Structure 1
Amino acid sequence: MNAPHPTAQLRQQLYRDMDPHNLTPLWEVLHALVPPQPRTPCVPAFWKYDDVRPFLMRAGEAITAEEAVRRVLILENPALRGQSAVTQSLYAGLQLILPGEVAPSHRHTQSALRFIVEGSGAYTAVDGERTTMHPGDFIITPSWTWHDHGHEAQGPVVWLDGLDIPMIRFFDAGFAQNDASKSQKVTRGEGTSFARYGHNMAPVTSDAPYGKTSPIFSYPYARSREALEQLERNTPIDAWDGVKLRYVNPLTGGWTMPTIGTFLQKLPAGFDGKGWRQTDGAVYSVVEGEGEVVITSGETETRHAFGPRDHFVVPSWHTARLSSSKGCVLFSFSDRPVHQALGIHNEERLS
């Protein structure tokens, strides 16, 4: 056996000697730190609602909304178990509230979205204004705003929670505060925010009440779906996305939240989409209809047939392709606003 090359011995001795000084050689890890293309540890994942719902209902029997503060089952990426993350930057979970319950008021640095999956009649209150929940509605609780949830109607209500928890954790910038009372005092009539900002108009002396977040905190599904239907009838269908729109901040025309981008799209009947990949990992919630998603990375392919209320995640730089024989509507969210703000967003549409 040949003796180790003197240079190799010198290197190993160098590593041993400098290790106690918290030094490590870049050249040993450079290719991992700066890879030739994005290399996420996340994997595609799929949650069938019919499988998840029984656990939500059992959670409703096991703990109250007040005890839990937020009764949520976290959608954890299988490759990130224990990290409360669906991608490396985003959190997702399904929250349940039952008639007569209140999820107590608090506020936190993290921005949050609620996308209503099942049931009607519950409400979210944000800084003194309530909005009633209906399936398909997209609701925002902006960073550092007081918010609580309640249910004064019938039947369980379930919604998808999307937050930037892992991102805020990365920056070590998270704060939270509990309110003195369970429910905040209502100071504005329901729909006030939408009346001020939701009709292509704004108060003459207005400022931005929620900073960089949209002043509209409730986007009703009926209005959004109507827009998709009209575009489907009157405009060309995109070969990758079908008909896809992003929710916007009416004051700026930009994203509704500084860290999370939200989208709604309709795949027409017979849609067989082309593949695409992007650096922002995305979480999908099926609003209505059925279809299939095929996700590939290298030689690995995953394929899921989806239906109403199912959820799935497409990780960064994984090729995805959507199809639907009868048509469907999909809500999704990602961290694209941060990618674009930093100038690092990349997307490829494959032919």
Structure 2
Amino acid sequence: MNTKLLEARRDLYKSMQEQCLAPLWESLHNLVPKQPAPPYAAALWRYQDILPHLLRAGELITAEEAVRRVLVLENPAMPGRSSITQSLYAGLQLILPGEVAPAHRHTQSALRFIVSGKGAYTAVNGERTTMHPGDFVLTPSWNWHDHGNPGVDGVAEPVVWLDGLDIPMVRFFDAGFAENGDQASQSVVRPEGHSFAAYGNNMAPVRTVHKERKELGSPVFSYPYARSREALHTLARNEDIDAWHGVKLRFINPQTGGAPMPTIGACMQLLPKGFSGLRHRGTDGTVYSVVEGHGSATIGGQRFAFAPRDTFVVPSWATVSFDAPEDVVLFSFSDRPVLEAMGLLREEFLPD
């Protein structure tokens, strides 16, 4: 390119910039890439390395002071963003015996996946559920919720769970609202297990129980691990094992058959002993929590060895395959419902 033309272009770009204009031809390849090129990376967080920091935080910061005592799992390629993917947030929350995490609500949808400990509860819109390791608990958008740890059956111990929220997604749309409750714990107006009895047995009330709120999320807000595990192991004994997923089931809203929340989907899968999976990929960035077993995930050609309670993330369009020298159970959540609604979900299952 000759000097005269180059100088003319510089003058053009400068005058355009003064008018808050930019040349598309200089950035088109980044704005419309040939395939996804996410700015975040595959990563794994080892629970054994995180737990000492959580317990130390429990000594130094009260639940009341913190509101939510959480260590955010920040993607190493996006420091300071409080995000594990472009659209999702993840963190490990600790509640100690006798503590209450006060009631609040927000437009961000949230899930809890119980990692360790027992004796704690979550209350959602006036109903409590006692939490056990492996349970999947929802707090859909704008639902009042609080947490407490009074102990159970005379046992009181620290309880840790994985929080998953659509915070980055809501932030992108500038649609975040929050409100604190008048009391630390909301009033209990329904007995424990009420929502599951009404909606969790392939039945639903003829006249809706929850007239006071819009059903944007599943009316079942607690999915016990005992039921999930039984389903996976029954299918593993009686069905062919999928070459990519092992045995994988998605959690559903029993009223619609869709995802439990509009912005976050969740699954549980079993990789039977000796499983060596084929590579697959999808446009949904996915966060995994290891429930049982030791194994490895190869993500974009990089191998990550995992143990129970570890957390790892698979970026959009990165290939992933699993190896399980023993039975492995994985919980996962992703932004799949949004991609499906927008017609942006794409998957590829590679033959080898």
Say yes or no: TM over 0.5: yes
**Aligned position for 2:349:** 349
**Aligned position for 2:336:** 336
Whether 1:156 aligns to 2:154 is no
Q: Deviations over 1:98-138 (max 9, x none)?
A: 00000000000000000000011100000100000000000
SS in 2 for 1:269: coil
Shift of 1:10: 2.4
Shift of 1:210: 4.7
Q: Deviations over 1:180-215 (max 9, x none)?
A: 100001000000000000000000012775522000
Distance in 1 (CA, whole Å) between partners of 2:17 and 2:50 is 47
| Match of residue 238, structure 1, among 239, 242, 247 | 242
Distance 1:93 1:210, change over 3 A: farther
**Aligned position for 1:55:** 53
Distance in 2 (CA, whole Å) between partners of 1:36 and 1:7 is 30
**Aligned position for 1:200:** 202
Equivalent runs, 1:1-351 vs 2, <5 Å: 3-4=2-3, 6-153=4-151, 154-206=156-208, 209-296=213-300, 301-351=301-351
Q: Deviations over 1:252-291 (max 9, x none)?
A: 0010000000000000000000001111110000001111
Shift of 1:156: 0.4
Shift of 1:228: 0.3
Q: Give me the CA root mean square deviation.
A: 1.1
Distance in 2 (CA, whole Å) between partners of 1:99 and 1:210 is 34
Structure 1 unaligned regions, length at least 5: none
SS in 1 for 2:111: strand
Distance in 1 (CA, whole Å) between partners of 2:162 and 2:254 is 23
Distance 1:244 1:210, change over 3 A: farther
TM-score by length of 2: 0.96
Structure 2 counterpart of 1:100, one-letter code: G
Distance 1:133 1:207, change over 3 A: closer
SS in 1 for 2:77: helix
Q: Deviations over 1:205-264 (max 9, x none)?
A: 127755220000000000011000010000000000000000000000010000000000
SS in 1 for 2:345: coil
Tell me, yes or no, if the aligned pair for 1:295 and 1:314 is still in contact at 8 Å: yes
Distance in 1 (CA, whole Å) between partners of 2:252 and 2:2 is 66
SS in 2 for 1:39: coil
- Count of residues paired in the alignment: 345
Distance in 2 (CA, whole Å) between partners of 1:207 and 1:30 is 51
Distance in 1 (CA, whole Å) between partners of 2:279 and 2:334 is 18
Distance in 1 (CA, whole Å) between partners of 2:32 and 2:38 is 12
TM-score by length of 1: 0.97
Tell me, yes or no, if the aligned pair for 1:142 and 1:210 is still in contact at 8 Å: no
Structure 2 counterpart of 1:347, one-letter code: E
Distance in 2 (CA, whole Å) between partners of 1:83 and 1:277 is 25
Distance in 2 (CA, whole Å) between partners of 1:41 and 1:33 is 13
Distance in 2 (CA, whole Å) between partners of 1:163 and 1:79 is 19
SS in 2 for 1:305: strand
Shift of 1:306: 0.8
Distance 1:346 1:207, change over 3 A: farther
Distance in 2 (CA, whole Å) between partners of 1:275 and 1:306 is 18
Structure 2 counterpart of 1:286, one-letter code: V
Shift of 1:17: 1.0
Distance in 1 (CA, whole Å) between partners of 2:36 and 2:304 is 24
Distance in 1 (CA, whole Å) between partners of 2:247 and 2:342 is 27
Deviates more, 1:215-224 or 1:204-213: 204-213
Distance in 2 (CA, whole Å) between partners of 1:34 and 1:325 is 41
SS in 2 for 1:329: strand
Shift of 1:9: 2.8
Structure 2 counterpart of 1:133, one-letter code: M
